[in-house]
């Protein structure tokens, strides 16, 4: 087992890290305070080409391998989880699905523009009444006599919802359960498509989260991903394997940031005549967090490794997502604790880390759902 990065992976890590330190991190806290979208970061992602890092070179992307992608996402997560979420939905959930399932025409239609960042993607799975159990979703796609589809339904909590140019939209084409759902590529400017921004989030305050309302949105037959009905839930759950790997990386980055911030603060702040890092119980906060950061990173790297080798990585992705998300909440909480009262005001980033970390045990499948996925895989018994 060799954990040494290749020269290409090392170059990605260093380039992204330098860019994040320069452009993303310095603005993160202010954007959070003002609920301001990180436009400079998005512009920079386009200019540097990072926005297409994992899309094949054939379509103008960076052709980055899974570990390069993980290193990229970790660096973004360390700088600002808001910026990370724009990218991992765009690349991991949407572009990845088009590359995996799309017809040659669909790949040509969307991937070059997604690689340049001209078009951003969003992922429309969750509905107001169907979150953990998307197989029962109610949005409909009614096939018309001319072969086109009429889409109706509401999606909730959709990252990139108001800024995306294309939505991967899961809707029911016929029949109950998972096999009745299909996936569509819907341009967000199609008549009848409305995106409403959601305000007042606990964390991730500067990223775009929306409700999508589709009323008689007509799309041609060519919008059906892969040209085949009934694969929508498989498309979504396959995408979520990558989403969960990405979230493992993002949470590793956030936990690393919490650790770094804790070390800086506790080696400067003095109480009882010495720096607080000199008190054993403060060192415990640091040591616990450091071990969890390593565990989260190694679990996530294993997912990337399995993916690179063409093996099934769905179980490893659920383990990484479950562990890293819970660890990031603990890390951020330790960071607040180590800052004392200063951890509770937004002059320091500790509170933002905690608020941003909190959602990670909820989305891309809650911690409870990850445990049931892991339990089902190990016992062969479904507890859903």
Site membership for ligand FAD, residue 271 (CB under 6 A):
no
The site partner of 179 among ligand FAD, ligand TGC, none (C-beta below 5 to 8 Å per kind) is: ligand TGC
The site partner of 325 among ligand FAD, ligand TGC, none (C-beta below 5 to 8 Å per kind) is: none
The site partner of 158 among ligand FAD, ligand TGC, none (C-beta below 5 to 8 Å per kind) is: ligand FAD
Site membership for ligand FAD, residue 238 (CB under 6 A):
no
Count of residues touching ligand TGC (by CB under 6 A): 28
Sign of the torsion formed by the C-alpha atoms of 289, 290, 295 and 298: positive
Tokens of 104: 């040659």
The site partner of 268 among ligand FAD, ligand TGC, none (C-beta below 5 to 8 Å per kind) is: none
- Of the listed 127, 229, 292, 364, which one is catalytic? 364
Look up 284 and say whether it is catalytic. Answer: no
Helices (H), the chain: 7-19, 25-34, 39-48, 66-79, 81-87, 96-101, 104-116, 232-266, 280-308, 314-338, 350-358, 367-379
Site membership for ligand TGC, residue 241 (CB under 6 A):
yes
Name which position in 19, 50, 72, 123 contacts ligand FAD (CB under 6 A): 123
**DSSP, residue by residue, 307-375:** HHTT---HHHHHHHHHHHHHHHHHHHHHHHHHTGGGGGSTTSSHHHHHHHHHGGGTSSS-HHHHHHHHH
**Phi/psi at 126 (5° precision):** -70, 140
Site membership for ligand FAD, residue 24 (CB under 6 A):
no
Which helix (H) or strand (E) segment holds residue 197: the answer is strand 193-197
Site membership for ligand FAD, residue 384 (CB under 6 A):
yes
Site membership for ligand FAD, residue 138 (CB under 6 A):
no
Q: What whole-number distance in Å separates Cα of residue 294 and Cα of residue 211?
A: 36
Minimum separation from the CB atom of position 373 to ligand TGC (A): 5
Helical pair 232-266 and 350-358, crossing angle rounded to 10 deg:
160
Name which position in 86, 120, 139, 158 contacts ligand FAD (CB under 6 A): 158
Q: What whole-number distance in Å separates Cα of residue 332 and Cα of residue 354?
A: 5
Site membership for ligand FAD, residue 272 (CB under 6 A):
no
Contacts with ligand FAD by CB under 6 A lie at 89, 123-126, 131-132, 157-159, 201, 204, 209, 359, 362-363, 365-366, 368-369, 372, 384
């Amino acid at each position: 087992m060799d954990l040494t990065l290749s020269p290409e992976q090392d170059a990605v890590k260093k380039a992204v890290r330098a860019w994040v330190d320069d452009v993303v991190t310095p603005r993160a806290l202010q954007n959070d305070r003002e609920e301001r979208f990180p436009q400079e970061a998005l512009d920079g992602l386009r200019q540097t080409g990072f926005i297409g890092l994992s899309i094949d070179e054939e379509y103008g992307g960076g052709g980055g391998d899974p570990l390069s992608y993980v290193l990229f996402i970790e660096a973004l997560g360390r700088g600002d989880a808001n910026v990370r979420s724009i990218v991992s939905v765009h690349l991991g959930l949407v572009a990845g699905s088009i590359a995996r399932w799309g017809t040659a025409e669909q790949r040509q239609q969307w991937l070059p523009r997604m690689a340049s960042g001209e078009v951003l993607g969003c992922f429309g799975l969750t509905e107001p009444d169907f979150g953990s159990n998307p197989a029962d979703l109610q949005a409909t796609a009614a096939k018309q006599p001319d072969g086109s589809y009429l889409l109706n339904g509401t999606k909730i909590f959709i990252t990139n919802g108001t800024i995306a140019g294309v939505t991967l939209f899961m809707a029911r084409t016929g029949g109950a359960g998972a096999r009745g759902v299909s996936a569509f590529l819907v341009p967000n400017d199609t008549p009848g498509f409305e995106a409403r921004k959601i305000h007042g989030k606990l964390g991730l305050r500067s990223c775009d989260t929306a409700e999508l309302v589709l009323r008689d949105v007509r799309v041609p037959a060519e919008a059906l991903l892969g040209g085949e009905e009934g694969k929508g839930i498989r498309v979504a759950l396959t995408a979520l394997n990558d989403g969960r790997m990405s979230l493992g990386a993002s949470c590793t980055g956030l936990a690393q940031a919490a650790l770094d911030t804790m070390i800086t603060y506790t080696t400067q702040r003095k109480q009882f005549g010495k720096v607080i890092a000199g008190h054993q119980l403060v060192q415990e906060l640091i040591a616990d967090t450091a071990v969890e950061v390593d565990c989260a990173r190694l679990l996530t790297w294993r997912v990337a490794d399995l993916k690179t080798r063409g093996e099934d990585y769905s179980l490893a992705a659920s383990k990484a997502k479950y562990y890293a998300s819970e660890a990031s909440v603990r890390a951020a909480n330790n960071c607040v604790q180590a800052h004392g009262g200063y951890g509770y005001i937004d002059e320091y980033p500790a509170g933002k880390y905690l608020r941003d970390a909190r959602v990670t045990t909820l989305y891309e499948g809650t911690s409870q759902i990850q445990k049931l996925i892991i339990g089902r895989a190990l016992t062969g018994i479904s507890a859903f």
